[in-house]
Chain A
Amino acid sequence: MSGSITQAPAPRGLAAALANRIADFGELLISWAVVVGDISLFTLRTMRWMFTRLPRRETLMPNFYQIGVLSLPVVALTGTFIGMVLAVQSYQQFRNLRLETRLGAVINMSLVRELGPVLAATMLAGRVGSAMAAELGTMRVTEQIDALSAMGANPIHYLVVPRFLGCLALIPGLTIMADFMGVVGGAFYSIVVLNIDSHHYWVNSQRFVGSFDLFSGVFKSLAFGAAIALVSCHRGFNCDPGAEGVGRAATEAFVASFVLILVIDLQLGILLDALYYTLWPEGPSFV
């Protein structure tokens, strides 16, 4: 009976240690390339199904309800509180400069350009993205995805496309709701609690916040919605077996979606800024 303990021989010398490090780094790069390639193929297959055959109404509606209707209260609540928090945080600085009436401009500009879309997307990633990854992960583990394939249904078409369409179609509405409730919350706190003159609050808001700001926020939200759906569904489809695997897929879906939201936000922010200055080289008018 072999009871001896076997282990890999330890690397000797600096060159061997360096070679091991390089090999580890190479392995990491390869695994990243595999994941990126896999997500790209998953995205392409989803796009192909979107343009060949749309899912049936009875498949779409439950997903739209889950993604849109059930997310609405939490997104509205987040928007309201963020609007009020912005008023609280900005008030003292603006008061020191005797620019309290400009508070509306900074609150509403921050909301429609950045905080509304990013927070609506974050809430969607937390509420819907994790749930999608967990649901599809459970379906993978219990062979329900295999069962779909075995019955001649395409799992991407049946499971991913409705979720993708739901996120893509409904996130602009959720973003506008977050923006609107943020504007209401900020105005309520500024006008009712901080006693800022309502006329000047709204006039300044109107002067500084343009339709391009609203457009840029809603445009970014489309990219956020697409990223959340694809990443979450991909994690669910590639879930490891067992309860731990499903839990990890849900966590990874949220973390990866959140990181992607931030990366996309930065990239689209730069791109939209460049577009704005290309279309209106004189820049925004504050007079």
Chain B
Amino acid sequence: MFSLSSRKRKAAAETSPWQGPLVALRDIHVRFGRQPVLREINLEVPRGQTLAIIGESGCGKTVLLKTMIGLVRPNRGQVLYKGQNLTRMSEAELAALRTRFGFVFQQAALFDSMTVAQNVSFPLRQHGYKTPGEIEQIVLARLAEVGLPESVLHRKPAELSGGMRKRVGLARALVMNPEIILYDEPTTGLDPIMSDVINELILRTRQRNPVTSVVVTHDMHTARKVADRVIMLYPLSRLRPDEPQMIFDGTPQQLDACTDSRVRQFIRGEAGERLMELREQASGAF
């Protein structure tokens, strides 16, 4: 009886348009061994929003992003996608759900052994949705969208520049027409012009498709240009146990007006007392 009603609820959830937040994180705690990384994170990402997650290196931005797609399982808390709890899903259910996600990795994470065409078409071939002819058309269209010519189709990732690899990674993330795209530091390691090309691609992707985006970055230019909303995480090692880890949540305009010294220091890129703190930590470790 219970399973029947649960199945009915699931079927109803799939057919009727979801009114709540696309992704919701409830009381998320993540630790690796004895090292806590995320503490009591509560976050809702509405459909269509572009959220930027900023914060200094090691504060748990990427872990938070990977928690959203179930690549990192939280020690406590729930990850809800359209109300469905990812943390309780089987591997098969999670695999099916992930077809609605696109993930752009920091170093693109293209498969070395495959050509560009095979990389971009991988999700389509994996889920067997299209014929080879249709797949080729979709791959060409996606590569054209990110400004890559047909001549790169049969090249291996090692033969591409950093910017081209990132764009192939973006094309691969877009190939399944995802509802949400997660970007992990999309502009890191690129020159300023190529960084802005990636920013433009993020904006245009959103204009073309009604897609929700979460962008992890420490590039303030990217955060200001692409985001509707910005949150800032702070490393747990520098917080008191009663302080929240998310120290800012607002629009890019509110970010610029924020008076919190930690936020101001980050957005201005000022070291301040940080070097002294690092030296003290280093000397305390010996």
Contact = CB atoms under 8 A, between A and B. Distances in A.
Interface in B109-162: 109-113, 122-123, 126-127
Contact of A6 (B91, B98, B110, B284): B284
Interface string B49-80: 00000000000000000100111000000000
Q: What size tier do the contact residues of chain B reach?
A: 20 to 34
Interface in A253-269: none
Most buried by B among A149, A152, A154: A152
Given A142-B109, A143-B107, A150 B286 contact: no
A154 B91 CA distance: 8
A144 interface: yes
Nearest to B106: A143
Nearest to B107: A142
Contact of B112 (A5, A144, A151, A153): A144
B17 to A, nearest CB: 23
Given A153-B126, A154-B91, A147 B109 contact: yes
Give chain A's interface secondary structure class: loop
Contacts of B207: none
A146 B71 contact: yes
B283 A147 contact: no
A150 B71 contact: yes
A131 to B, nearest CB: 12
A3 interface: yes
Nearest to B72: A146
B220 interface: no
Contacts of B286: 5
Interface string A1-24: 111011000000000000000000
B283 A153 contact: no
A154 B284 CA distance: 44
A152 B95 contact: yes
A146 B111 CA distance: 11
B98 A150 contact: yes
Given A2-B283, A146-B109, 13 more contacts: A1-B276, A5-B286, A143-B107, A147-B111, A149-B71, A149-B95, A149-B98, A150-B69, A150-B105, A152-B96, A152-B126, A153-B95, A153-B126
19 contacts: A1-B276, A2-B280, A5-B286, A139-B112, A143-B105, A143-B106, A143-B107, A143-B109, A146-B71, A146-B103, A147-B111, A149-B95, A149-B98, A150-B69, A151-B98, A151-B176, A152-B99, A152-B126, A154-B91
Interface of A: 1-3, 5-6, 62, 138-139, 142-144, 146-147, 149-154
- 7 nearest interchain CB pairs? A147-B109, A150-B103, A143-B109, A152-B98, A152-B95, A151-B123, A143-B105
